[in-house]
Amino acid sequence: MADKTDESTTPENGERDPHLQRAVEHEAKQLYKMCPAEQEPVLTILRGHLLAEHYLERAIAATLPRGDRIIQAGLLSFAQKLNLVEGLNVLADQLVQSLKSLNGVRNSCAHEMEREITIPDVERIGRPFGAEFTSLRQEHYPDVKQLLNKVIHCIGRNLSWHVYCLEREAAERFEKSRQE
């Protein structure tokens, strides 16, 4: 199981594994397709949230022996899936905190008519990424649309990395069990 403190499971090390690079590139294409830079911020929040939920489900399926049954039952909310994944300790804390904030902003969008995404909303989602977010903020402030887009892509990149590692570890465990 990936440990959030294990250096080998950070996105920065992805260039060493060509399979990982291909997977991350494929996932990035999907993310850019779902969340293009010119898209309205509320739609970026909703689609980014949907994509994050997809990754959380993949993490659950890869980590738990019958995680697929939990997902197929369809009884867990985004927050419950996130709490489950957080309890499994398979994602970096900054990513979990960012996803919690994304969920909060998404919920406010879903329940408030005429909701506009603001810089404080984007800061709330991006702040857990520390220096990386600070750099993005300096580059894109005060353009909410561009800053949000970059933050959502940062979340997607980190999630795709962690999920790929979890799925690779699950496949390796399976192959090992077949050989025994």
In a domain, 81, yes or no: yes
Q: CB under 8 Å to 178, separation ≥6 — which residues? A: none
Alpha-carbon distance 125 to 142, whole Å?
16
Local structure of 117: helix, strand or coil = coil
Q: CB under 8 Å to 90, separation ≥6 — which residues? A: 1, 2, 4, 59, 63, 162, 166
Quote the number of domains for the chain. Answer: 1
Alpha-carbon distance 36 to 2, whole Å?
30
In a domain, 96, yes or no: yes
For 64-117, the pLDDT digits (tens) are 999 999 999 989 999 999 999 999 999 999 999 999 999 999 999 988 989 999
In a domain, 60, yes or no: yes
Full domain range(s) for residue 58: 37-179
In a domain, 160, yes or no: yes
In a domain, 15, yes or no: no
pLDDT category of residue 131 using cuts at 50, 70 and 90: very high
In a domain, 158, yes or no: yes
Mean pLDDT for the chain overall: 90
Query: What pTM, to 2 d.p., does this model score?
Result: 0.88
In a domain, 43, yes or no: yes
In a domain, 49, yes or no: yes
Tell me the average pLDDT across 131-150. 97
